[in-house]
Structure 1
Amino acid sequence: MNEVFEKFIQDLSMLDNTAEIERLLRRTLDQYGFPCFAYLSFAPGGDDDDPLAMTTYPSSWVQQYCANRYDRIDPVIARSIATTLPFAWSADRFETKLTNKQKWLLEEASEFGIRHGVTIPIHDRQGKVATLTLAACEPRLPFNVRVEQYRHQLHLIAIYLYAQLRNVTPALISPLRPCLTQRERSCLQWAARGKSALDTAEIISVSRRTVVFHTENAKRKLGVATVQQAVAKGLMYDIISM
C-alpha cells in the first residue's frame, strides 16, 4: 500500500478545494479497505465556528445525527477532545465510562451499520480539533487487523488531510513557530513521508541512533509525545512540507 499512500500525498498537494479533496480521500480509504469513514474539523465549544465534515455514513443517519445535535453527547467527539492519540471504540467497548445517553447513541448508530471503529484525533495550536474516524459493521477482528496493518499510514493520511484542508481554508495568523535545526527538520520530513528511523538513517547516511536523537529533540521542541504528533505540528507550523 506504499504506492497508494504516496499517490495520496502527491495528489493531495495539487488540490485546492474541499470537494476534490473529499473525492481523493474516498478513493484512498476505499483502497485501504475502509469505505465507511467520517472526517470532522471543529472548534470545541464554539458554536460560531462552522464545522467541516466529510463522510460516507448513511445519509439517513447523518440527517438524524445533525437534526438531534448528537454531537453534544457523542462519546467519540468527547474522547477526541480529551486525547491526541488514536483510539478504538464500539457500543460495548469504550475507553471511558459512558452515560446512558451515550450508550444509546452508539447502539442507535449500530443500526445504521456503524458498529465499531477507530478514531484519529488531531489538535492544532489554535484549539481546533479534527477527527478521522474509520467505521465498520464487519466482524471486529478483521477490521482491527487491517487498522493495525496500516495504522502508521492512516495516521499520516489524517495529518496530511488536515494540513491541506487548513491551506484551502486558512485560519488566523499563527504564533511564532519553534526553531528546529536542519537535521531535526530533515528527520521529521522523512518521518512525514512514512519512513522509519532506520529508513531515514540510510537515506541521510547517519546511524539510526542519530536519527532517533534528532527526532526526540524535535518532539521536545514541539511539545509532543509521538512522531505522528511531531509531524502534525511540523506541517501546521510550516517547518516541514507536504
Structure 2
Amino acid sequence: MRIFEQFVQNLPTCDTTHEIENLLRQTLEQYGFPCFAYLSFAPRGDEDDALAITTYPSAWVEQYRANRYDRIDPVIARSVATTLPFAWSTDQFDALNNRQKWFLEEASEFEIRHGVTIPIHDRQGKVATLTLAACEARSAFEAQISKYRHELHLIAIYLYARLRDVTPTPASPLRPCLTQRERICLQWAARGKSALDTAEIINVSRRTVVFHTQNAKRKLGVATVQQAVAKGLAYDIIGM
C-alpha cells in the first residue's frame, strides 16, 4: 500500500504526459513490473486520437506502429469487448486468423509472450489499457500480479483519469446522481480502502458501507467496485 499511496499522492502534481509517464515507470518498477504498455484510443477512431506510453523495446514499438498492428492485436480486440482485467498468452488465444498468429510470433521475438491487461472504458466510447508484460518466469509473474492485483487496477484507473485531465476531452452527457454517502464510500474505495476500513473511517457499520457501495454500482451500471471507481472518476463524481 505504501507504493500505491505514494502514487496517488504524487499523481495530481504531474501536469504533463511526460511527468505522468515518469511516475508510472517508477511506480511499476517498485512493484516489479518494468515492462508495460499504456494505450488510450477510440475504437474505429482516428489514429491521431491515440496515446501510448510504454517500456516495450523501441524496435517492437516502431514495428507495431508502422504496421498498424493495433488493428489485429487480439489483446486490443479483447479489451474493447470487456471491462474486466484479463491474463493472456501467445499460446492461449482461440480462433486466431493467420495475420494474428503471425503478429503473436513477432511479439514473441521481443520476449512479449504473456501478460495481464487492465481495460478501462469511458462514457465517450474511448478505451484505455494498461498491460503488464512478463519479463521473468511466468509463475513468478503471475504470483506477483495476484499479490498486487487490486492496487494495480486502481493505479490504471487513476492513471487514466489524470491523463484525461492533462489532455481534456469534449464535454459529455450528464453524470449519474449519487447520494453523499454513496460518493464518500466510493471515494474511500478509490483510495484502496476495504469496506471494513471505510466503515471505521466514517464511523458506520461495514454492512452500511456495502449497502451504499452496492447502490453506487447499480446507479453506475457496473458489476465491481473497481469499475464503479473508474466511472466515478470519469464522471467527476469522485476526485483523485
Equivalent residue for 1:145, pick from 140, 143, 149: 143
Provide the C-alpha distance between the structure 2 equivalents of 1:93 and 1:145, rounded to a whole number of angstroms: 19
Once the two structures are TM-superposed, the CA of residue 236 in structure 1 deviates from its matched residue by 1.0
Alignment-derived partner of residue 123 in structure 1: 121
Please state if 1:29 is matched with 2:21.
no
- 1:112 aligns with 110
Rounded to whole Å, the distance in 2 between the matches of 1:207 and 1:101 is: 54
Task: Measure the CA separation in 2 of the matches of 1:133 and 1:241.
Answer: 24
Runs of 4+ in 1 over 3 A off after TM superposition: none
For structure 1, which runs of at least 5 residues remain unmatched after alignment?
none
CA distance in 2, matches of 1:86, 1:138: 20
Give the fraction of aligned pairs with identical amino acids, expressed as a percent: 79
Deviations 1:135-175 (A, max 9, x none): 01422111011001000000000000000000001101121
For residues 141 and 206 of structure 1, what CA distance do their matches in structure 2 show? 41
Question: Counterparts of 1:4 and 1:217 in 2: how far apart (Å)?
Answer: 30
TM-score calculated relative to the size of structure 2: 0.98
1:171 alignment partner, one of 160, 169, 172: 169
In angstroms, what is the RMSD of aligned CA positions? 1.0
The CA distance in 2 between the partners of 1:67 and 1:176, in whole Å, is 38
Q: Structure 1: how far apart are the matches of 2:105 and 2:201?
A: 49
Q: Where does residue 56 of structure 2 map in the other structure?
A: 57
How many angstroms does 1:103 deviate by?
A: 2.2
The range that moved more, 225-234 or 41-50, is: 41-50
State the alpha-carbon separation in 2 of the partners of residues 206 and 97 from structure 1.
Answer: 50
Match of 2:39 in 1: 40
Shift of 1:73: 0.4
1:49 offset after TM fit, Å? 4.3
- Is the Cα contact below 8 Å between 1:43 and 1:49 reproduced in 2? no
The DSSP-based 3-state class of the residue aligned with 2:213 is helix
**2:45 matched to 1:71?**
no
The structure-2 alpha-carbon separation of the partners of 1:90 and 1:139, relative to structure 1 and needing over 3 Å to count, comes to same
The match for 2:230 is 232
Shift of 1:50: 2.1
Report what 1:82 is aligned to.
81
Aligned counterparts of 2:68 and 2:174: Cα–Cα separation in 1: 36
Query: How far is the alpha carbon of 1:237 from its aligned partner?
Result: 1.0
Determine which of 211, 214, 219 is the counterpart of 1:213: 211
AA matched with 1:26? R
CA contact (8 A) 1:44 1:129 kept: yes
CA contact under 8 A between 1:116 and 1:137: conserved in structure 2? Answer: no
Query: For 2:33 and 2:125, how far apart are their aligned partners in 1?
Result: 28
* SS of residue in 1 equivalent to 2:150: helix
Q: Cα distance, 1:227 vs. partner?
A: 0.4
Q: Are the aligned partners of 1:118 and 1:134 in contact in 2 as well (CA < 8 Å)?
A: yes
CA deviation after TM superposition for structure 1 residue 48, in Å: 5.5
1:9-36 deviations in Å (ceiling 9; x for gaps): 1110111110000000000000000000
- Give CA deviations for 1:102-133 in whole Å, capped at 9, x if unaligned: 12212211110111000000000000000000
- The count of aligned residue pairs is 240
**Aligned residue runs from structure 1 range 175-214, under 5 A:** 175-214=173-212
Q: Which of 127, 150, 155 pairs up with 2:153?
A: 155
